[in-house]
Amino acid sequence: MAKSKNNAKKLSYISVPSQIINSISSSSLQSLLESPKKSSRTTASTAINRFFSLNFTTSPRLFFSTLFLIGLFGMIKFGFNVEIPFSPYPCSISLPQQHQHPNLQSKSTVDESAQYSKKDGVFNGATNSNISLSQSQSQQSQTMVSNVQLQARGSNIDDGEDEVVVVEKSEFWKQPNGLGYKPCLEFSRDYRMASEGVVKERRKYLMVVVSGGMNQQRNQIVDAVVIARILGASLVLPILQVNVIWGDESEFADIFDLEHFKRVLANDVHVVSALPSTHLMTRPVEGSPPLHVTPSWIRARYLKRLNREGVLLLRGLDSRLSKDLPSDLQKLRCKVAFNALRFAKPVQELGNKIAERMRSKGPYLALHLRMEKDVWVRTGCLPGLSPKYDEIVNNERIQRPKLLTARSNMTYHERKLAGLCPLNAVEVTRLLKALGAPKNARIYWAGGEPLGGKEALYPLINEFRHFYSKSDLALPGELEPFKNKASLLAAIDYIVCEKSDVFMPSHGGNMGHAIQV
């Protein structure tokens, strides 16, 4: 007994983490407590007592080694017994069946994607068997849920055969947040009261001649309506100048819906189709305002002479009116651009048809390419196709110097570095890839015939196989009424681009600005 007491005095105690204690089953503890006494050489209890009876203070190395082994055993036990809620394969491209979350099954993923594709009209008559096939394939592959894909059957525009189209729900197609903004065309009380006298005006008339392409003409028509309102004059239907580059002789009523234009603006400006007979012999006051003029400048410059002569003729209105207008005039500008200027019925119908053909297989990107010969000449830039085409552009610029609208004191390389040149096909391809455009993205390209023809588009065609223009999508004979009518063809492009999911211009211009608003 004395020896036993002496041994008890020599006992040292070690604090063991509770996790290790919990990891040891109760049956093991019970067996240790209830084990019968045996000889000191054979019983486990005696060995444990001897282990704890060691004086660790005299051997620190043994103490720390023992702690390390106990801790290692506890960590191993803890790791094998506790179920971790996170996947043990965080970076793999496929998930083993036992580690998939029950709410992230492939079947539910395909069902969700199927609803998305049905919404956008991707199926075109696909049966339920197609969906079942997609479900079975996705269950076999067990792809990551983040790469949501849907296989649907549709008709191929190129060869008329059925093909499997993969629609990807990626960030590239995500629509921007509107932040609650909406059109506001509620005019002030003073504006509405002044309208009664303006729309009854029959003594003063404003005539305008607009030039340039369709989108440039469109902007000038908008400003013409606002100037007519500022002067309190009736607006004679704008005259479209024959385009020097394309030779297009289209008139206002060929491009826009004339009756709709008059009806929408009935409470803002009095619009007439032609100058009345009472003013035919009147010599009009002519003018061409400078850039960014204000309403007060227009009144001071033209109102007195207009009251005296009765007719005012303005030319070259491109960017002449200030962008910073009073609220009511700015609302009128928006009303003209987005409500009154509706395209003529034949143009609108064909544009809608082509947009529906692009939409039939899901979202699409509209790309406005500015690669025509006149664009390279006007901007002072080079297409970069070959020395042959660079020489063509340089010669045209020398023969027709008036076409150069860019700064003449800058070299081509200086313009390029300053970002003043249109992007060519190689540069547009790089930009789309950098933005994350899928290789199977459906792209509608708008614009005139590029310098160099189809060869100039090869970088885009090789990278994105679903690359279409209005000529590719129109049925035989549909574009015949618009042949050699650059303004009407541009209007069709505008409609298809406006209805796209993503729009990107290769060069800043009037069409890009109008669609981005």
Rounded Cα distance, 195 and 201, in Å? 10
DSSP 265-300: TTTT--EESS--GGGTT--PEEE---TTB-HHHHII
Nearest one of 359, 379, 312 to 468, comparing CA atoms = 359
| Residue 443 CB coordination number (10 Å) | 24
- Report the DSSP beta bridge partners of residue 166: 151
Model confidence pLDDT, tens digit, residues 345-401: 999 999 999 999 999 999 999 999 999 988 898 888 999 889 999 999 989 888 887
pLDDT at 168: 53
The pLDDT of residue 514:
85
Q: What is the pLDDT of residue 517?
A: 66
Per-residue pLDDT at 409: 75
pLDDT of residue 18: 47
- Can you list the pairs that 244-249 forms with residues at least 24 positions away whose Cβ atoms lie under 8 Å? 245/374, 245/486, 246/448, 246/484, 246/486, 247/484, 248/484, 248/485, 248/486, 248/487
Res. 40: pLDDT tops 60: no
pLDDT of residue 72: 72
pLDDT of residue 170: 72
The pLDDT of residue 46 is: 54
DSSP conformation class of 99: G
Span 271-290, mean pLDDT? 91
Mean pLDDT of 257-281: 95
CA–CA distance, 198 with 470 (Å, rounded to integer)? 42
Average pLDDT, integer, range 315-327: 90
User: What's the whole-number average pLDDT of the chain?
Assistant: 76
Q: Which long-range contacts (CB under 8 A, 24 or more apart) does 154-160 make?
A: 154/122, 154/123, 154/124, 154/126, 154/360, 154/361, 155/124, 157/357, 157/468, 157/472, 157/473
Is the pLDDT confidence value at 159 over 50? no
What are the start-end ranges of the E strands in 142-253?
149-155, 162-168, 205-210, 234-236, 239-240
DSSP-assigned states of every residue in 229-240: HHHT-EEEPPEE
Q: Please tell me the predicted confidence (pLDDT) of residue 327.
A: 95
Please report which residue ranges of 274-417 form alpha helices under DSSP H.
295-298, 304-309, 327-335, 345-359, 373-379, 387-399, 412-417
Q: What is the pLDDT of residue 319?
A: 82
Strands 502-505 and 364-368: parallel
User: Comparing 19-33, 67-81, 330-344, which segment has the lowest mean pLDDT?
Assistant: 19-33
> Phi and psi (nearest 5°) for 162?
-75, 145
d(CA 217, CA 224): 10
> Can you tell me the mean pLDDT for 262-278?
95
Number of C-beta neighbours around residue 109 at 10 A: 20
Cα(130)–Cα(110) distance, rounded to whole angstroms?
Answer: 11
Which range among 9-23, 416-430, 458-472 shows the weakest confidence by mean pLDDT?
9-23
Q: Best-predicted range by mean pLDDT among 52-61, 245-254, 261-270?
A: 261-270
Rounded Cα–Cα distance for residues 244 and 226 (Å): 27
Q: How far apart are CA 259 and CA 273, in angstroms?
A: 10
Residue 212 has a pLDDT of 85
Q: What percent of the chain has pLDDT over 70?
A: 67
Reported confidence tier of residue 487, pLDDT bands at 50, 70, 90:
very high
509 torsion bin: left (phi>0), alpha (psi -120 to 50), beta (else): beta
**CB-hemisphere CA count at 13 Å for 469?**
15
Q: Which of 93-102, 216-225, 420-429, 500-509 has the lowest mean pLDDT?
A: 93-102
> CA-based Rg of the chain, rounded to a whole angstrom?
39
Cα 445 from chain centroid (whole Å): 14
Whole-number pLDDT of residue 467: 97
What confidence tier does 42 reach under pLDDT thresholds 50, 70, 90? very low
pLDDT (0 to 100) of residue 201: 85
Of 32-36, 381-385, 446-450, the poorest mean pLDDT is in 32-36
Residue 317 above 70 pLDDT? Answer: yes
H runs (alpha helix) in 422-485: 425-434, 458-463, 470-473
Task: State pLDDT tens for residues 178-218.
Answer: 788 887 889 999 999 999 999 998 899 999 999 888 999 99
- One-letter amino acid of 395: N
pLDDT, tens digit (0-9, with 9 covering 90-100), for 56-96: 555 667 667 777 777 777 666 555 544 444 444 333 333 33
Strand pairing report for 234-236 and 162-168:
unpaired
145: Cα within 13 Å, side-chain hemisphere: 14
